[in-house]
Amino acid sequence: MNNGACVVSAPDFPAVARRVIVLCCRQLIRVMLIAGMGIAGIGLAQADTGNGSGHATRAAPGPERVALEFYSWYLARLAANQDPLADQPALMAKYVAKALLKEIKKKMESADGLNADYFIQAQDYSDGWLGAVFVSNLQINGNSATAQLVLGRLEPDVYRLSLKMLLEQGTWKILAVARRAR
């Protein structure tokens, strides 16, 4: 006798359990997105595309991931004696706001030029920064964000920067970089 209870046969249990877990995860992701929490680091915008397929959709990387990717790539280019700004403008445009690229170009063409590399706020990088890029104190306010960037693991190689970022056409980009004290 069933008495209205849900009865699942043993062979069907794993499939039912997986379906319940998937549905719960989808609901949790929706709640997090509605609350504006985002899902840092996993790159998922939502678990359901709305077409019933259940396939995840890719979201643009968050500001933390953009900063980490950019500085890891940028420092590797400097270590390879390349000039990322001149040699790879398409990749620079992927990570850097149009307004900042325009500002840097204007400064480079001016009589004074640039006294230091804009993105590291120094004339040279340290080998201790390679593979040691850390983001902290990320604050997101609508379409803008700020973060603290630390390059290097141990003193005296530790170097600190402040980043301002902008959500430009659906993609987080670096808008300003400043050196910061400890």
pLDDT of residue 58: 61
Partners of 133 in beta bridges = 151
Overall average pLDDT of the 88-106 stretch: 96
Residue 181's pLDDT band, with cuts at 50, 70 and 90, is confident
Around Cβ 57, how many Cβ atoms within 10 Å?
13
pLDDT of residue 14: 52
Residue 27's pLDDT band, with cuts at 50, 70 and 90, is very low
Average pLDDT over all residues of the chain: 78
pTM comes to 0.68
Distances in whole angstroms, Cα of residue 107 to Cα of each of 73, 100, 110, 148, 179: 23, 10, 5, 24, 18
Q: Are 130 and 151 in contact (CB under 8 A)?
A: no
Whether residue 44 is predicted with pLDDT greater than 50 in this model: the reply is no
Give the pairing type, strands 57-58 and 133-141.
Answer: unpaired
Overall average pLDDT of the 44-49 stretch: 34
